[in-house]
Each structure stands twice: as C-alpha cells, then as structure tokens.
Amino acid sequence: MSGVRCINDHVIKSICFLTAAGMSILLTACGKKPQMAFEDLPEGSVYGVTEIAGGRVEPFSQDLCIVEGKDQSLMEDGKDKDYASAGLFDVNGCDTRFSDNVFEQLYPASMTKVMTAIIAMENGSEEDIVTCSENVKITESGAQLCGFEPGDSMNLDQALHALLMYSGNDAAVAIAEHFAVSEEAFADMMNAEAKRLGATHTHFVNPHGLHNEEHYTTAYDMYLMFNKAITYEWFQKIINEKEYTFNYRTAAGDYKEMTFKSTNLFLKGDVLPPGGVNVIGGKTGTTMAAGNNLVMLSEDETGRPYISIVMRARERGILYSHMNQLLDKIDE
C-alpha cells in the first residue's frame, strides 16, 4: 500500500483491539496448531491498520479476497469427498468465488516452492550465480531431482526454472543456500515473509516441501502467497513456459544441457480448461502424505486474473477434474 502511514497510537489501539479479537476467533476456529498473537505480526504486515490521505482508515483486507459464509462443495450429493480443500479467488475484484475448508492446515508438498521463489525474486537478480553444495544429493525415496552435482553452477533464472517447472528439490536446496547459510535459515526467511503476507496458518521447515509434520499451510494461505508471487512478471513468465532448455556449468568446468517440461497438465495440453479460460500456469505438489495439489493462475476472456487452488486430491485425475470445476465458476 504505497503512500500510506500509520495512524496515531490511540486510534491504532482501538481498531487493533477489534481486529485482534476477530483474528483470534478466526485462528482459534480454523487452525489446529498454535498461531502467532496479533501483536507479534511484523511491521508492514497485511494485517497492519493504515489510513489514506484524508483520514480514511483502510483495513488490511482492502486488496485481498476475504472468505465469508458457509463452505461450499465440489462433490455431487451423496458422494464421499475426494479432496480436502479448494478455493477460487477473483484477484482484481477481491472476491472469493468459491471456498471449501480453506483454513485447514495441510501439507503443501512442492507448492512450497512458490514461497522459495518469492524469497529468491525479492533478494536476487536473474544473473546471480547459484552454486550447488553437497546438500543437493537428496537421498529421500521418490524425491524429484534435476540431477545437479556438488560444484555445478547456473544463474538464478535457470535455477528458478528448475525449481518451478521441473519442481527440482535439489534446485530448491541450491537456491536456499545461495540466500542463507542453511536450509533452516532460509526457512526462517520463508516464515517471516509468510507472516508479513498474513499467512498465519503456515509454517515452513524446508525450501522444497519434502514431508515434515511441522511443514504445513492452508489453501487460503496459499492464495495469499501465490497472490504475492504473481506480482513478479519473472514468476509469471516461468510458470507460463511449456518447455525450457539451458546450459549450466559443471564442477569440472564443462557445460551440460538440460531441458525441462512443465508439470502442469493444462500447459502440457493433456487437460483442457473450460472455454473462455486461459491457464497462465501454477505450481503442482505431490507426496504420499500431501496427496495431489495445485495452485494456479488463470484469466477469463477479458484478461481478468483468478487464483484457483485444490489441495489433497486423492488422485491426479481427480485434482484436474476439480480444478476444472473451479474454472467453470469463473463465468458464473
């Protein structure tokens, strides 16, 4: 919110009391893990109380979609639920078009990498050189890896393509260690940014989303984080690419070519969106514990942007079926 300033302490205390009370009810009702106190929110948080010229108070939510009313459902009557959470958000209209269980804390899997990209784009430039350490040799079964070796190097733009398009967990480690002394220190940066964005039901312990019981978020928090990520043209460009080829430098000083294809089935052409909807791109996330997840940016025929999220779908086909149900609601 450019051009805003804090109002005087007396007014802040009065308004913050009411705001904090409302937040307390929301967090108690919707979160199963301990949440931060209102007074602990960092300066500049979206929960800050501000005023525009002329003394008009603007709440934190003035530019955000707020969830109100009862949960909706993507399931037909009588059918067991095969996903955990879903939401559709009109970005420009600040309108929640659909919400179901969007405050439940769930495992994000590789959707985590949206926040990793935010930290990288806030603190780096495309030509920063990222060098891999021994820690890129992830041995966890099933972990998605680009195959980078210790000593390999690439620029940050290339590393972010590996992170967002191919969902490389080794790329996530290399990026984290480029900006912090360790993955743990980078996770601290991620958590600080999540708080600043108002994602109070989120806690990260790593930059990639490999399973950890203390690594969780919600569909609404994913909306908040993805809403920040799409303010970067750099981010939108990467998630919109169907294929990407680059050359990176190996530890031996040679150059090696690598090609990635998007993991998003809409971009691959394997799944078609409803008529009148253009899928820009997004971030997938899949683990045994997290199920199948996708957060995505799309546009209607006028170019109006929407963020859609489905979390913990039972199968990949179910994930994309429910995502199309959300996209169908854009024209309703």
Catalytic residues: 110, 113, 167
Q: Are 88 and 330 in contact (CB under 8 A)?
A: yes
Q: At what angle do helices 169-179 and 183-196 cross, to 10 degrees?
A: 80
Tokens, residue 295: 């957060």
The tokens 């269980």 sit on which residue? Answer: 101
CA 87, 114, 215, 35 torsion: positive or negative? negative
Q: Are 320 and 326 in contact (CB under 8 A)?
A: no
Tokens, residue 108: 């994000």
Q: Output phi, psi for 16, to 5 deg.
A: -65, -35
In 3D space, the residue among 221, 204, 213, 205 whose CA is nearest the CA of residue 290 turns out to be: 213
Q: In what order do the strands lie in the sheet with 56-58?
A: 5-6, 50-52, 56-58
Give the span between the Cα atoms of 41 and 47, in whole angstroms.
Answer: 8
Spatial CB neighbours of 56, under 8 Å, sequence gap ≥ 6: none
Give the span between the Cα atoms of 298 and 11, in whole angstroms.
Answer: 40
Q: Are 115 and 224 in contact (CB under 8 A)?
A: no
The H or E element that residue 180 is part of is none
The H or E element that residue 116 is part of is helix 113-123
Spatial CB neighbours of 9, under 8 Å, sequence gap ≥ 6: none
CA atoms within 13 A on the CB side of 306: 28
Q: Give residue 43's identity as a one-letter amino acid code.
A: E
